Structure formats: C-alpha cells, structure tokens
C-alpha cells in the first residue's frame, strides 16, 4: 500500500505590501470635508462670509466718504478674519481628541505625521479660500460704497501688500494650529489663543510704554507685535529679523514640541 503526497503551490505575492499607501491628497481631501461635518465647523466657516459681509456693509453705511477705499474695506474685513481663521485651525486639530475620533483616524492612517501634515495643508487651503472670499467681498464693497458715496473707486492695496496680509493671516492660523497640537483641547486651545492675541499684547504694550529698554526690544520677543507689522507693509530688514527671531520662540519651537508629543503619545 503506497501513500501519495500531493504538494500544493501557494503563489507568493511579488509585492510584500498588502496595500499601497493612501495618497496624501486623499487624506487632505478627507480632512477638508471633516472641517465641514460638524455644526461648529460648518458655522465657523460660514462666519467667514457672514462677518466679511457685515463688516463691508458697516463700512459702506458708517465710514466717511474720504475713507471709502479698498484699504478701508480690507481693514474692516481683516479684524474678524484674524479671529475666525485661528479658530478654524484649532478645531481642525482638537476635534480628533474632543470628539474622540483620533483612534479611528490614526488606525486608518497609522503614520500620524502624514495625518498632521494633511491637517496643516487642509487648514491652509481653507484659510487661503477664506481670505480670497474676504478680499472679494471687500472689493465688491469698495465698488458699491464708492458708487453710493459718489467718489472715485480707490484701489490702494498693491499685490505685495496683499501678499503680506495673507502671510499675516497664515501666521495667525499657524499659531492656532500650534496651540491645538500642544493643548489638544478645543476650549483650552481657544482660551490660550485669546490670551496670546489679547492679553499678552496689552501687557507687553504697557511694559513698552513705560520702559524704554523694552520698547527697543519688543519686536525681538513679541511675535504678535512683529507679525502685526505685516498689515502695515514696507517692512525693513530689522522687521523681518524681529519676525524670524520671535517666530522661532513663539511658533517654531512650540510646534516642534507639539509634533513630537503627538506622534508619540497614546491615543485614547
């Protein structure tokens, strides 16, 4: 009696990777859609158009005729943008922890660095679109306002000045993003941003007003003060140096620390 051995050949996949890596563009698209999925995110993004319109209408109704210019409308629209855009950046990060969706997100995409990079790109894309909408609303208000006032339409913002305004708003969003990475709590990060944007400038401005030694050095240590100069245009070399040095301590180093902690901390 003989025994017959049957050997089966199991095909071996040539590529050891079971699945290709998810493209970064797809992750960015998902992160953009997640920014609209919640009520808070939706209305926060909708407030960009709403507040821009309200600020433009208020400028048309109440601004003197000699101040009807594109610069005046940009200044009116710029204030609500400087508040709303950092909030968008904060919620884009903290929503993973406040809504407890981080475990799902980091399971589907285990490389946390790619998720954080996608969140940053999505934030900047939404911010760029929001700033574009704000500029567009301001331009429309300038045309309508000058027609109502019976004065010539004044376009007194150059392309370079518009780029500096965009850079200032982008830095504000990056500060919000940094606080979101560091604190990872929506209320805590929002409070932290208002302390940075409102309390610290008042305290440091008061110190500079009464202490001459600090007035000459404020730009080196006060990132908010240095970045605000971008709205004024015509930055000298010293102003750029102030922005680089203060930005290193207030933005670059905290962001690096936050990224280090996020990529290594346990997600619950």
Q: Tell me the backbone φ, ψ of residue 227, rounded to 5 degrees.
A: -75, -25
Tens digit of each residue's pLDDT (9 = 90 or more) over 103-141 = 778 778 888 888 899 999 999 998 888 888 888 888 898
CA angle 168, 169, 175 (to 5 degrees): 90
Who contacts 108 (Cβ-Cβ below 8 Å, separation ≥6)? 22
Q: DSSP string covering 33-47, please?
A: HHHHHSHHHHHHHHH
C-alpha distance from residue 243 to each of 54, 90, 147, 219, 233 (Å): 32, 22, 39, 7, 13
pLDDT for 160 equals 86
Task: List the alpha helices (DSSP H) in the chain.
Answer: 24-37, 39-62, 70-98, 102-108, 112-149, 159-183, 186-194, 200-210, 212-215, 218-221, 223-228, 237-247, 253-264
Task: Assess contact for 159 and 109: CB atoms under 8 A.
Answer: no
Residue spans of the chain under pLDDT 70? 1-20, 267-268
pLDDT for 13 equals 46
Closest residue by Cα to residue 221 from 231, 192, 211:
211
pLDDT for 223 equals 93
Q: Which two tokens stand for residue 59?
A: 């400028």
Alpha carbon 97 to its chain's center: 19
Whole-number Å distance between alpha carbons of 217 and 83: 26
pLDDT for 147 equals 87
Task: Assess contact for 124 and 42: CB atoms under 8 A.
Answer: no
Tens digit of each residue's pLDDT (9 = 90 or more) over 206-243 = 999 998 889 888 989 999 999 988 888 778 889 999 99
Task: Assess contact for 68 and 154: CB atoms under 8 A.
Answer: yes
Task: Assess contact for 94 and 184: CB atoms under 8 A.
Answer: yes
Q: Which two tokens stand for residue 200?
A: 């610290």
pLDDT for 200 equals 92
Residue that the structure tokens 């504000």 belong to: 172
Task: Assess contact for 181 and 258: CB atoms under 8 A.
Answer: yes
Give 222-231 contacts, CB < 8 A, sequence gap 24+.
222/246, 223/175, 223/247, 223/249, 223/250, 223/251, 224/196, 224/197, 224/200, 225/201, 227/168, 227/171, 227/172, 228/168, 230/164, 230/165, 230/167, 230/168, 230/171, 231/75, 231/78, 231/164, 231/165, 231/168
Alpha carbon 114 to its chain's center: 18
- For the chain, the maximum distance between any two Cα atoms, rounded to a whole number of angstroms, is 111
């Amino acid at each position: 009696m003989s025994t017959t051995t049957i050997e089966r050949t199991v095909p071996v996949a040539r590529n050891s990777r079971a699945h290709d890596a998810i493209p970064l563009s797809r992750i960015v698209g998902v992160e953009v859609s997640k920014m609209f999925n919640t009520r808070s995110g939706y209305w926060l993004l909708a407030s960009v158009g709403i507040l821009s319109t309200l600020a433009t209408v208020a400028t048309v109704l109440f601004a003197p005729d000699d101040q009807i210019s594109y610069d005046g409308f940009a200044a009116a629209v710029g204030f609500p943008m400087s508040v709303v855009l950092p909030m968008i950046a904060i919620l884009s990060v903290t929503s993973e922890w406040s809504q407890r969706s981080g475990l799902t997100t980091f399971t589907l995409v285990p490389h946390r660095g790619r998720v954080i990079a996608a969140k940053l790109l999505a934030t900047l894309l939404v911010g760029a679109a929001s700033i574009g909408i704000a500029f567009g609303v301001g331009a429309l208000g300038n045309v309508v306002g000058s027609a109502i006032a019976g004065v010539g339409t004044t376009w007194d913002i150059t392309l370079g000045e518009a780029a500096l305004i965009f850079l200032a708003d982008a830095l504000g969003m990056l500060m919000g993003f940094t606080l979101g990475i560091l604190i990872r709590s929506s209320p805590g990060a929002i409070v932290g941003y208002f302390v940075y944007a409102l309390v610290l400038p008042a305290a440091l401005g008061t110190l500079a007003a009464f202490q001459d030694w600090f007035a000459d050095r404020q730009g080196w240590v006060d990132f908010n003060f240095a970045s605000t100069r971008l709205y004024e245009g015509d930055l000298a070399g010293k102003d750029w140096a102030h922005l680089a040095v203060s930005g290193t301590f207030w933005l670059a180093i905290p962001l690096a620390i936050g990224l280090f902690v996020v990529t290594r901390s346990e997600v619950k």
